[in-house]
Structure 1
Amino acid sequence: MAESDVTHAEVEGEDSLAFEDPEYREAVVDLLAVIGYGLISAFERLGEDATLAPHLEAKVQLGRMAAGELGKLGRIEARMAELGSDPFEAMEPFMAAVDAFHANTAPADWYEGLVKAYVGDGLANDFYREIAAYLDAGTRSLVIGTLEDAGYAAFAVAQVRGAIAADPRLGGRLALWGRRLMGEALIQAQRVAAEREGMSSLLAGGIDRPGLDLAALGRMFTRLTERHAERMAELGLDS
């Protein structure tokens, strides 16, 4: 992860005060809720992708990865419950935006599904990692741990690179697909931020918490764009 505009020491010093702020507590629940529903969605999507897998080994690997995504949900649920929120009620407001993203980016084949999971999920996870820098230490650790790769990245890269080597024309189509995913992801992220003020407040900061000014916000989006380009390059695609 690239350096954030706030140090861990600055954030950790505020841990004892953070949850005394009801707006912060609500914002943390919102963040955990959207990550939690993202895990449920990833579980469903990986299961669907498995039906497109070209061979049995790939089906089994995707099934294991899907189980891993759902397995991470327990810690998220437990933390939201500790904060006094019903996990499933907290996730409901984010279902429409997440479902809309997946409806608008339904893959046409196995390789589009691989690129979508690698690029789309990677972009979302990068954004959550950026936000995590502005959280209390305990929540930050939970978020970062939840976003750890379960082996999908190496699997997707190997599959896509092998397919492009066999059919170079595939690279052009998948490059366009990757750009579309980036655009759709940004649209849905803006929708979530607009509808849930708590999410925006995590980045804006508060009286007792650091936040992002316009310059720092610009640097954050530059980092997100650079990481997207790096992922596309790892797949052998132009960004």
Structure 2
Amino acid sequence: MGSDVADAMEPFVRAVGIFHESTAPADWLEGVVKAYVGNGIAVDFYREVSVLVDESTRELVLEVLSDTGQAEFAVDRVRRAIAADPIVAGRLALWGRRIVGEALAQAQQVISRRPALADLMLGGSGFDVVAVSEVFNRITAQHTRRMAALGLAA
């Protein structure tokens, strides 16, 4: 890949920091939902990018994104918590929506400020609100699937 990891990630540090500051979980269950939903959104984003890069980079990205069992753990714990106290489902559903909203807001900020990233993600067309919306619609559809797996309304 040929670049220093810290240098390559520097443009994204602020957005990631803002995301984490604005989505600090209030308790363990919110932390589990944040980890599951946040990781899922990141995986979806990288999968979107992976189809736009060369084959060896794509293979590396997809290998890194392979599930290692954390998703199953999160789904099990959240479903158990809902079974024990159905009231938590509403709170956690709102929390999941907040996480996806903040993640997409930060992603849009990064894409709009990084022409090279916009070109990569949008096929060289620069920042295009319609094209960004299509990517975000696909990510949101996957978020809805993940929330359903947790037993939560998206």
Aligned to 1:231: 146
The Cα offsets for residues 124-178 of structure 1, whole Å up to 9 and x where unpaired, read as: 2101101111111011111111111221100000000000000000001000001
RMSD: 2.0
* Displacement of 1:214: 7.7
1:190 matched to 2:108:
yes
What percent identity do the matched residue pairs reach?
A: 56
Superposition TM-score, scaled by structure 2 size? 0.90
Which amino acid in the other structure matches residue 90 of structure 2?
G
* Displacement of 1:88: 1.5
Superposition TM-score, scaled by structure 1 size? 0.60
Partners of 2:23 and 2:99 within 8 A in 1:
yes
Alignment of 1:143-158 (within 5 A): 143-158=61-76
- Partners of 1:230 and 1:181 lie apart in 2 by 15
Aligned to 1:162: 80
Unaligned runs of 5+ in 1: 1-78
The Cα offsets for residues 165-208 of structure 1, whole Å up to 9 and x where unpaired, read as: 000000010000011011100111011112221111102324xx
Which contiguous aligned blocks of 4+ residues in structure 1 show a shift greater than 6 angstroms?
Answer: 213-216
1:123 matched to 2:41:
yes
Alignment of 1:3-152 (within 5 A): 79=1, 83=2, 85-152=3-70
Q: How many residues align?
A: 153
Unaligned runs of 5+ in 2: none
Give the structure with higher Rg (CA). 1
Corresponding residue SS for 1:150: coil
- Partners of 2:52 and 2:117 lie apart in 1 by 11
Which amino acid in the other structure matches residue 180 of structure 1?
R
